[in-house]
Structures are given as C-alpha cells and as structure tokens.
Amino acid sequence: MKKIISLLLALALLCGAVALASCGDEGSDVTTEGTQETLDTGSQTEGTTNSTELPDPFEDSDIGEKKLVGFEHVDFGGKIFTFEAILNRADWNCYEVAVVDEDASDSLSMAIMRRNDTICELYNCGIEQVTNADGILANDFATEQCHIDIGTGMASLGNLGTGQWYNYHTLGIDLTNPWWDQGFVNDVTVDGRLYAILGDFSLTSFDATWVLFFNKEVLDQNEKLRGTDFYSLVKNNEWTIDKFTELVQKAKQDDGDQIMTTGTADIYGYISSTFGIRGLYFGAGGTYVTKTDDAAGNTTFKHGFNDNASLVAQAVIDIYADDASTIAGYTTVGSQFTNGLALFAPETLDKARNWSEAGLKNFGVLPHPVYSEEQLQSIGYKHNVDNHAIYYIIPKTINYDLSIIANFLEVYGFHSRYIVYPEFLNLYKYNWTNSEEDAEMIDIIMNTRTYDLGYQLNFAGVDAELIAGVQGGTNIIAQLGAELGSVVEERAQDYKDWIKSTDPNA
C-alpha cells in the first residue's frame, strides 16, 4: 500500500512541477489573451457530451482513466486550480479536495488522489486546496485579484445572490450531464440563475442526505417479519408508506408491561427525532414550495400546502400516533437503534460510517417510502438533503477565459463520477454495511434527492410549523395554506427579485 501511495505522490509532484501559479499569482500567463495562445480548451460544441451515451459508473471501470469524450484536445497549460476546502467540522465528516497526507490509505482518499492525478496527467494541470479561505476571498473581492478558482459554501444558499458569484447556467457547462446533481440543478435554479452546484464530487452532500436505516438483527429475530426482503419491496415498486406502516406495526414488541417506553426492553417499529419527520413528508411527495419554469426560464412559485400534501401529512401523523413509533431526542434515536430496540430509524447517511466504525455492522439502508405506486410513475422517490451540504461556487474574481474553468469543472465532475463515486458506493458494499443491496439502495437515493427551497431557505418558518403539527398529532396543512401559503410565495418571490437585482445580466 505504501508503495502505491509513493507512486501516487510522485505523480502528484510531477503535476505540481509543471503547473503554473494560481489564477491571481504574479507571473501566471493564464489570462484571457494568453489562454487563446497557450490553451486548447475546446469549442463549445466540442466541450459538450451526450449523457445518454455515457455508461453507468459500474459498467466501464476504465472510462474514468481516459479523457472525457469531446474534451480530447483540452490542455490547461499547466494551470493550478485552487479549491477552497472546508475541513475539520465536528458536526460533519468533511473530505479533502486534494489529499496531501502521504500516509492516507483509506480507499476513498486513494480514489480522490487517483481522480486528481488522472486529471493532472490527462489535461496538464494541477489541483490544490486551501483551508480557512474566507480572508483570501474577501481580499480578492476587495483588490480584484484571484487566488481561489473554486470556492465553497455551506448552509448559505440564501446568501449567494450577491452578484459576487458566477451563474453556472452562463459558464457554458452542460448541466444535464449525469455528474451534476439534477435535483439540485432543477430545484435551486431560479429565473435561469444557479450560483452553487453539487455533483458526484460532493461527498459531504451524500452524507447529508436523509435515508431510512433498518436493523437486520431486529428483522431476523421478529417472527412476524423474518424472511421479509425489504430490498425486493423497493425493486418491485411496493415500497409505499402503507407497506412501511404495516411493517412498523408488526415490529413492535412490548416487554410485557403494556407500555412502550424508550430505555427499556421495548422494541419499536420506528423511532426518529423531530428532524426525521420531514424525511417521511418529503419522501412521500410532500412539499413546502413548488416551482415551475416556462420555456424562457422564468420561474414562478406556489406553496405546497394542497390536498396531496394533506394526504401525505395525515399518513405521517398516523405513523407517529401509533405506539409502535416514537419521537425521541437525537442521541436517543441512535442508541435505541444501534442497541436493537428499533427496526427503522431515519438519519443522515453519514451515520452508516459512524456506526460501522463504532462496531455496528448488521444494518441496512432503504429509500424513504413513497405515498403510492402512482408516485413512482410520476415524481419517483424523493430524499431531503440537510441544508448543511457543502457546494461549489465560482467567484467573479476569476481573471481568465471562463471556458477554462467551465471545462475544468466538466472534467472534474466526469472523473469524479467514474473514479470517486464508485468507491463511495463500494465502501457501503464491502465495509460499512457489507451488502451489495445497500449500495444499490444508496445509488437510488443519490439520484432522487430533492432541495425544496421552502426548507433550504426557511420560507416563513413552515418547516418548524409542520413538524410541530405532526408532533402534536394535528394535520395543519390546510391551516398552513390559509395562513402562510401566500407568505411562502412572497418570500420566494422576494428571493427571486433579490438575485435578479444583484445580478441583472446573469
């Protein structure tokens, strides 16, 4: 392993040796004029791929080692692309963009290194990261210099419409390519403006996705449920909220005192924190705000508190009203589940890694159930992503031809999809859950994520209102529509007007 790492580091040093300084450093010839002479970035037509021609990440293990089709002539002339990296947060697993630890031997870090080295070699460039870059970016904005090519944002989507960041829709990137998170692109684009991006490189956003865990030991020990194949229910389009409710009720095991209580030998069918409520609600097709875009890209908003949302909310309320389910404190949920005192528990995906490293192995991952089979035919599965996901933003301090950063982002996304993303799923298949089926479920989940702006931007506080209603056993959808529906739409319109006013020519 150390020999492999040494070879990778040697290649990384070779890339660094031929690379030029970062975008704003003195002596760099990466300017618009210089770019035309030194870089063959490919034309707009050449730099576009047809996603229907691309294989699944597991169908062609070698595709990630070759240049992206249509980008064969792209050469970045030794330019170093500098990422802002968010690391060392206590509340989330954060990942390095450019792994520099020579002793890093975990497979995901190795995949990140392999992706970067592949890009460096194929396209003649370098990749580096800087941490604590807020001061650097602030200075760049103040002095019109460029030291950061790709910035990062976290829990700040609502603050990006300041006119300081490039609109991804104007960079010449094909945002229909599969390495871009299509849910994010569709849900967060407003009036043709998108100032942040997620994709197959966004490992923290994977971790921040809400999923449904189940304890396999509880399943196997329950005579009513033993032999039930949850994965087949998903594959056969039978994973509905009614089926889920049935399983929750069958899983309940009272310790004999006729009172279900956490901290005892009682086994719940389902346990969650209040945060888990929205996972079921969004998963079954509920929304806070919906958006539509006309042919010209103009966005209109409508609150989501309609008859369908009322049906979904009632189904969620019924689940929590049954004594086979309970709402508990955040840490209590984890201890109950890992100690075999609950069959199902919703959590962010990163808990799989945390629980596995703590010694728990016998658990699985499922999508959130849909409201009905009809939902699968219309909008499909839906999975809420916590609003603390980390995304990439491109500062307007860039002082070189934008086709360069556009082409770099495209190849970065492509090689992430075919080198890093498969390894991410392999960790679940071979390490964290030890199940190929779980990796299949996670792939379904990653491709069905939703970013409701009513939640992401906290329009009118409706998230807290809905959660309180479910917790109290009251269906308040009609009330939310009557009292806050217009407010939600106004907040959404205000957001739209704001980003248009600060960046009118985007």
Query: What pLDDT shows up at residue 53?
Result: 75
**442 domain residue, yes or no:** no
Confidence category of residue 29, pLDDT binned at 50, 70, 90: very low
Domain range enclosing 348: 210-387+454-502
Q: Within this chain, do residues 316 and 382 fall inside the same structural domain, yes or no?
A: yes
Average pLDDT over residues 328-350: 95
Last residue of a domain, one of 398, 432, 466: 432
Does position 267 have pLDDT exceeding 80, yes or no? yes
Q: Within this chain, do residues 352 and 492 fall inside the same structural domain, yes or no?
A: yes
**440 domain residue, yes or no:** no
Buried b (16+ CB within 10 A) or exposed e, 427-453: bbbebbbebebbbbbbbbbbebbbbbb
Confidence category of residue 26, pLDDT binned at 50, 70, 90: very low
**437 domain residue, yes or no:** no
Query: What pLDDT shows up at residue 87?
Result: 86
Confidence category of residue 156, pLDDT binned at 50, 70, 90: confident
Last residue of a domain, one of 432, 467, 489: 432
Q: Within this chain, do residues 99 and 231 fall inside the same structural domain, yes or no?
A: no
Question: Number of folded domains in the chain?
Answer: 2
Query: What pLDDT shows up at residue 49?
Result: 52
CATH code for position 114 = 3.40.190
Provide CB contacts within 8 A for 26, sequence distance 6+. none
Confidence category of residue 93, pLDDT binned at 50, 70, 90: confident
Q: Within this chain, do residues 66 and 120 fall inside the same structural domain, yes or no?
A: yes
**487 domain residue, yes or no:** yes
Half-sphere exposure of residue 225: CA atoms within 13 angstroms, side-chain side: 25
Which residue type is seen at 23? Answer: C
Percent of the chain with pLDDT over 90: 75
CA distance 444 to 230: 14
Which residue type is seen at 16? Answer: G
**449 domain residue, yes or no:** no
Average pLDDT over residues 77-95: 88
Average pLDDT over residues 247-263: 95
Tell me the average pLDDT of the chain.
Answer: 89
Q: Within this chain, do residues 184 and 263 fall inside the same structural domain, yes or no?
A: no
Q: Within this chain, do residues 423 and 481 fall inside the same structural domain, yes or no?
A: no
**447 domain residue, yes or no:** no
Does position 451 have pLDDT exceeding 90, yes or no? yes
Q: How many residues appear in the chain? A: 506
The answer to whether the beta carbons of residues 355 and 338 sit under 8 Å apart is yes
Confidence category of residue 39, pLDDT binned at 50, 70, 90: very low
Q: Within this chain, do residues 175 and 313 fall inside the same structural domain, yes or no?
A: no
**445 domain residue, yes or no:** no
401-405, 437-441, 499-503: segment of lowest average pLDDT: 499-503
Query: What pLDDT shows up at residue 17?
Result: 38
Last residue of a domain, one of 397, 432, 467: 432
Query: What pLDDT shows up at residue 46?
Result: 45
Q: Within this chain, do residues 132 and 170 fall inside the same structural domain, yes or no?
A: yes
Does position 158 have pLDDT exceeding 90, yes or no? no
Q: C-alpha distances in angstroms, 275 versus 5, 279, 328, 464?
A: 41, 7, 10, 10
Average pLDDT over residues 382-392: 94
Q: Which of residues 14 and 494 earns the better pLDDT score?
A: 494
Tell me the per-residue pLDDT of 367-377, one tens digit each, with 9 for 90 and over. Answer: 999 999 999 99
CA distance 388 to 420: 21
Confidence category of residue 504, pLDDT binned at 50, 70, 90: confident
Q: Within this chain, do residues 185 and 70 fall inside the same structural domain, yes or no?
A: yes
Tell me the per-residue pLDDT of 277-288, one tens digit each, with 9 for 90 and over. Answer: 999 999 999 999
Q: Within this chain, do residues 236 and 171 fall inside the same structural domain, yes or no?
A: no
Token duo for residue 306: 């309609």
Among 462, 453, 467, smallest CA distance to 305 is for: 462
**68 domain residue, yes or no:** yes
Q: Within this chain, do residues 401 and 360 fall inside the same structural domain, yes or no?
A: no
For residue 421, give the H/E element and its range: helix 421-427
CATH code for position 321 = 3.40.190.10
Token duo for residue 116: 């970067």
Confidence category of residue 88, pLDDT binned at 50, 70, 90: confident
CA distance 88 to 501: 36
Q: Within this chain, do residues 268 and 353 fall inside the same structural domain, yes or no?
A: yes
Query: What pLDDT shows up at residue 19?
Result: 37
